[in-house]
Each structure stands twice: as structure tokens, then as C-alpha cells.
A and B are shown apart, each in its own frame.
Chain A
């Protein structure tokens, strides 16, 4: 039963966006930036322009463009473009975000359109990027800072945790800091050390920050815009292995509130709650489980802080089984917080313990072995099996 189930899973995964065969392509220091030979780039070659076309607002009044298919990265580009166009106090700052357009080309074309004073190439200094963003925000500007990779955020950890998160508290609410930090995170890109980490739990534990993570292009567009407009500091964890995941973006219909969770697949027998890069994996796992007669509900957590524990607990209470998945190590991980909160709210409705699927208690491994480290469809289905080993009462 289990073996057959896993066989189905592997077949299903070969059609999933993160199929291992396609992951093997690029390896290098900053490998994931698209190159002209990449098929993804061919299909999105005009996306910077399409992002601009998506919002025709010469007079500041937005005229939404019709829905169009964009890869997730270009949906973020479009969102940044639209926020720069909408508010002259909004600016971007980060390493290599100007002429190069960022190592993932997310800011491609924006410096050319908005100038070097609003799309600022910073010195190579993450604490400086966040610290100056704080000073800019104190004065009424709305900085969107890019940290190049998850593993490079730690030089800025002090500014983020002792300053950005605390200045509203320190001033008893007199000073608010509408700073957005964009942070590409997660693994499965075949890269070297420091390029594949998932530090969400470290920030989730810090009151004063908001943390969101979109999993599809439509959410990426709208959640980015909502983050920039939020009066609080927001860290957007961008699932870098999904930057080239295509999806329709409806520019006239906002996604639901960025700080809420969303049921992205309905089911009746078990719930998988996950976020960012693992949402497509969970959807593929649910598809595989369906072939085995199990109906899996998938909740896209979307917001780490605040956590919409109500939506997750409601789903878990309905299906009576909950599996929480993330790439970060399970020990002390954010899944533990979800598990605890759901247990507190819905213990009597669950027929099995909340199970976690995640990375191991080790630094992110050399990426030649990341396929064994990262939760995949099989690991999720194994947890589903374990959950089902507890019969419904």
C-alpha cells in the first residue's frame, strides 16, 4: 500500500514544477538568475514591458490591465513597478538591483524607468541596507529593500530585530516604519552554501515584524503591493525556486488580505498546511493521494506573522488530521508553532497527532544531497500515511 502510494507519487512528481530532473540544471554561486538561453526567459522576455503595460496610470489613477500570465518573479516586478508609479516616496534599495536588475532580475528595467535615486544600488552591506531604510522610513519614505539571498540576511539581523521591529514599540507608536524587505529564500536550486536557507522562524519570533510568503504569481503581485502599503515592517519571503512558476495575474481583482491563510485545495480526509515553495509540492501530493482514494485539503499559510491560525485550525477540525510542512528544520521550526496552536484550539477534533514534515537539524546540506533533505511529495505522503495509521474514532 505504502509502496504503491509512493510509486504514484513519483509519477506525479515528474509532472510537478519542481521535478528533480529539471532541478539539476544550474549550479553555481548565483545560479538561478535566468540566462538568455533559458526557456523561462524566452517566454518572459517582454515581461518588464508587460509589467509596465499592466498598469497604465499616467495620472496616478490605475487602469488595470487585463489578466495575463506571468512568472512569479515578473509578477513581483509588476508590483514594484506599480508601487513606484503610485507613490513618489516609494523607493527600492539593494545590491545589484539597478543596471543588472537584481541577480534574479526581479527589478529588471525599474532603475531605467524610475532613475538611480529611486532604484538604488547600495554598497555591499546588508546592515547598511536595512539601517538606511529605517532612517528613510522615519522621514516618511517607503523603502523596499532587497536582500540578495536568505543566507546573507544575517549581517542585517541586528538592524531587523533590535531596530526595525522595535522602533514603533520604543516610541510608543509615535514612529512607524513602513519598510519592506524582500528576501529570496528556500532551496532546490542546486546552489552553494548560504543560498538555500529558510530563516522564517528566526523572524517569526520577533514581535514588530510581519512576514509573508506568496506561492503563486497572482498572490506575489498583490501581496507585494499590500506589503509596500502596510504601515508596519514586512518581510516578504520570496520562494526563489518558484520564481519561474507561471500563473495568471488578475490586475483588477486583489488577492485576499496578505496576512491571511487560504485553502487552495479542498478535501475531507486530512489537511496539509504549508507555504511558499512547498505549496505546489503539497498540491501534487494531494493529487497523488486522491488516486489512492484520500481527499487532502491544502492550506497555503501565506502569512507567517500574523499567523491565521483560525483558518488552519478550521481546516484541521474539518478533516481531523493535520500535517505541517516547510523546508526549514522541524526542530524549533515554524511548523511547531502551527502544530501547537492547532492542538490548543482543536485537540478534541483531531484523530491523530499533528505531524511535521521539514528539514533536518543540520545546516542546509551541500545541494548535491538537497533532494534527500527537502520535503518532497513522498515525504508528505509518508506523513499522510502515518496520520492515517491513527483510525478515526
Chain B
């Protein structure tokens, strides 16, 4: 199985019988926007890594190296298509209008998520990987039932499909298998999007699968393709094509072959398990570099454009750095209120106890005229 590629690492473009037409249909601005999206996220990503190093974030999950896979795919979807992400889809989140300071909330641990899934047609991040693929299948079952009943949920599109994101590591989870069984059996409008970044923390993708992950789709009875995930044009064209196929009926799978250039998270040290040579080989396939070469060669963008993009990205990063300081943590009382939709006796009891307990400290402090005591 050879990944579909339109743009070679040196920036040369090769026509493809099926996929080139999707690129031909893109306007010049669309093509430039793909670069802008990738560059903005890369700059934001670096800022977030830096913020973590400075103790401002509990953790960061870099998307470095996977920008084209995500940018091409998300740009090929309709804004009404629902995305079920993992925790690394920062490019998709930015594209869906989610601000960096919203993305960061989970990682600053001020809240477990920072946006309303319905406002952005993108679910909040998933940490227990694989679980989201079943939610995606369930969401798709909802679409199917509403279409049959002629009773679409508020504001939803008739041709909506669902993007179920996962990585090579989560492909080993049982939930992913069950999701693909449900999707196949019920012919659900789900597009599985596997970013094979070659490493599940320290474990290579060969430990997850000895056959291409795209080949697994055939076992479930639907089509799977491999795409060069560092080629943003191929990522776009393949996603556009496969999304169209899903809209016509039934699930499909894309295995996006890419590489995690950074650590799994900021808590990880990749030099312990992979070679510098391997990383350098992938650096030569960098998704932004090759796309920039092509944009320049095609006269679609010049130095002025690229410096504008750099300037904008720097402003986004600066804004993130500023905004991080201003994010208030979700108060414990509000977190308690969010456990249930309807009142729950034990939560109410605990909340009342906490209030009374802490009020005692406040009174002591007031009497002593000192600062808040230790909890």
C-alpha cells in the first residue's frame, strides 16, 4: 500500500487521476489559507510548549509535524460536519473558530474543556482514547434516524457526516473495533481519520499493527486509503473525496501517514526511544516547507505574504500568552453543579458542607486580620 501523494517533499506536484480535480477546484485564497492555518498553529503550538516549560500549563500535547494532515482534512469538511477529536487536533480546533486560550483550558487545568461542542461542530478533547469513536458512531446514528424521520436536530445539515479522529496507538483499542462494526452494520456516515504519527508515546506503530491501518477497513466491509499526511494537498483531496463518498452512504477510513516531530506530551523524552536519524529523515519531509516551496513555485504567495503570516501567527501566540494569565479556574462550586443536570442529594450535601467549612476559615481570618489560612 503506497500513500497517496500529490506534493513531493521537494515541492514538485504530480497529477492524480482521482484526486487532482479537488485541488483544481480550490481558489488561490483557499490555497494560501491552508498555509496560514498550518503556520498559525505551529507558532501557537511552540508558544504552548514554552508556556508549559515555564509552569503555565500542566501539560501540552504538541501537534508539530501533523499540521498538514489536520489542515487538509478539516478544510475538506463542511462546517456542519461534526468532529470527534482526540487531544491533539489543535489545527482542526483553530479552523473551527476555537481560540487558543479555549484550547488551552484543559492543559492549564482550569477546566476539563474550553468550548461548547455545538457552537463549533467539534466535540471537546478526549483523553481516554478510542472512546470518542463510539460517540462518533452514535452521533451518526442520530443523523440517520433524523433523516428517516424528516426531523433533523436544530440547525443541522441534511448532508452532515462525522469525522472520527484517532491515532495509530488508539487503533488497538477495542472501542475502535466496536465503532467500526456499528458503522459498517448500520452504514453510518462516519469518516475515520487515523493519524499514524508512528509513535504511541514510546511504542512504535509496528506494535499496534503489522498491516497498514487503512487495510483494516476492508475487514469491516468498507474502503480505506492511505495518504501522505505531510502533503497538505493530498490530505485535502483525499479527505474531500472520501467525505463525498461517506455522504453518498456508509463509512470510510483514511490513514494519514505522518510523523510526530515533537514529544508525545511535554512530559515525554523521545530521545529515549527513537533515533535522531529517524527524526531528521522526517524533518526533510516537513509539511510546511514543502507546501511553501510549491506556493512560491506556483507564484501563489511571495515573501510579503509569508512575513504577514508570520506576523499574524506571532500575534496569536502573544495573545495566547497574555490570555493564559487571565483564565480563571472553574470554581469548585460550579464544577459540583455540573456533575448532574438535576439536583443530587449527595452533591448538595457536600457543597453545603464545603461552604460551611470554608466559612469557618474566613471567620477566623477576619478575627485575626490575617491572610487566608491553609486548607
Beyond A136-B142, A138-B139, A207-B347, whether A128 also contacts B181 by CB under 8 A is: yes
Contact with B134, one of A131, A139, A309 (Cβ below 8 angstroms): A131
Q: 14 A-B Cβ contacts within 8 A?
A: A91-B145, A128-B137, A131-B137, A132-B134, A132-B141, A133-B138, A135-B136, A136-B138, A138-B123, A143-B138, A169-B112, A169-B335, A172-B330, A231-B341
Across-interface contacts of A178 in B (CB, < 8 A): 341
Stretch at the interface among B147-155, B248-256, B305-313: B147-155
A302 within 8 A of B: no
What are the 5 A-B residue pairs with the smallest beta carbon separation, nearest first?
A135-B138, A131-B134, A132-B138, A231-B341, A128-B178
| B residues 328-350 in Cβ contact with A at 8 Å | 330, 334-335, 337-342, 344-347
Beyond A135-B139, A307-B346, whether A169 also contacts B181 by CB under 8 A is: no
Beyond A134-B138, A140-B142, whether A171 also contacts B178 by CB under 8 A is: no
B139 pairs with A171, CB closer than 8 A: no
B112 pairs with A125, CB closer than 8 A: no
| B residues 52-101 in Cβ contact with A at 8 Å | none
Across-interface contacts of A133 in B (CB, < 8 A): 138
Closest chain B residue to A135 by CB distance?
B138
CA distance A130 to B174 in the complex (A): 13
Stretch at the interface among A70-78, A155-163, A327-335: A155-163
| A residues 155-181 in Cβ contact with B at 8 Å | 155, 158-159, 162-163, 168-176, 178
Across-interface contacts of B237 in A (CB, < 8 A): none
B141 pairs with A170, CB closer than 8 A: no
Across-interface contacts of B149 in A (CB, < 8 A): 88, 117
Across-interface contacts of A137 in B (CB, < 8 A): 138
Q: How large is the interface on A (under 10, 10 to 19, 20 to 34, 35 or more residues)?
A: 35 or more
Count residues of B near A (Cβ-Cβ below 8 Å).
48
A134 pairs with B112, CB closer than 8 A: no
A230 pairs with B342, CB closer than 8 A: yes
CA distance A162 to B255 in the complex (A): 27
Secondary structure dominating the interface of B: helix
Known contacts A128-B178, A171-B117, then 18 further A-B pairs from the complex at CB < 8 Å, ordered by chain A residue:
A88-B151, A117-B144, A117-B145, A127-B175, A128-B181, A131-B131, A134-B135, A134-B138, A135-B134, A162-B128, A163-B135, A170-B113, A171-B113, A173-B341, A174-B116, A210-B340, A307-B346, A309-B345
Across-interface contacts of A122 in B (CB, < 8 A): 182
A136 pairs with B141, CB closer than 8 A: yes
Across-interface contacts of A176 in B (CB, < 8 A): 341
| A residues 289-345 in Cβ contact with B at 8 Å | 305-310
B51 within 8 A of A: no
| A residues 102-139 in Cβ contact with B at 8 Å | 117-118, 122-123, 125, 127-128, 130-139
CB distance from B340 to the nearest CB of A (A): 5
B345 pairs with A307, CB closer than 8 A: yes
Contact with B182, one of A117, A125, A172, A230 (Cβ below 8 angstroms): A125
CA distance A306 to B339 in the complex (A): 12
Across-interface contacts of A168 in B (CB, < 8 A): 338-341
CA distance A168 to B182 in the complex (A): 25
CA distance A138 to B181 in the complex (A): 20
B128 pairs with A163, CB closer than 8 A: yes
Across-interface contacts of B142 in A (CB, < 8 A): 135-136, 138-141
B185 within 8 A of A: yes
A266 within 8 A of B: no
A232 within 8 A of B: yes
CB distance from A261 to the nearest CB of B (A): 11
B194 within 8 A of A: no
Give the B-binding residues of A (Cβ under 8 A).
Answer: 88, 91, 117-118, 122-123, 125, 127-128, 130-141, 143, 155, 158-159, 162-163, 168-176, 178, 207-208, 210, 230-232, 259, 305-310
CA distance A305 to B344 in the complex (A): 8
CA distance A391 to B117 in the complex (A): 61
B334 pairs with A172, CB closer than 8 A: yes
A140 pairs with B338, CB closer than 8 A: no
Across-interface contacts of B179 in A (CB, < 8 A): 128, 131
CA distance A121 to B140 in the complex (A): 16
A171 pairs with B346, CB closer than 8 A: no
CA distance A135 to B182 in the complex (A): 12
Closest chain A residue to B136 by CB distance?
A135
CA distance A140 to B47 in the complex (A): 37
Contact with A123, one of B133, B153, B178 (Cβ below 8 angstroms): B178
Across-interface contacts of B131 in A (CB, < 8 A): 131, 158-159, 162-163
| B residues 116-172 in Cβ contact with A at 8 Å | 116-118, 123-124, 128, 131, 133-145, 148-149, 151, 153-154
B263 within 8 A of A: no
Contact with B339, one of A143, A158, A207, A231 (Cβ below 8 angstroms): A207
CB distance from A87 to the nearest CB of B (A): 12
B111 within 8 A of A: yes
Across-interface contacts of A232 in B (CB, < 8 A): 340-342, 344
Across-interface contacts of B337 in A (CB, < 8 A): 173
Beyond A132-B138, A172-B335, whether A123 also contacts B346 by CB under 8 A is: no
CB distance from B90 to the nearest CB of A (A): 18
Beyond A135-B137, A162-B128, A307-B345, whether A125 also contacts B178 by CB under 8 A is: yes
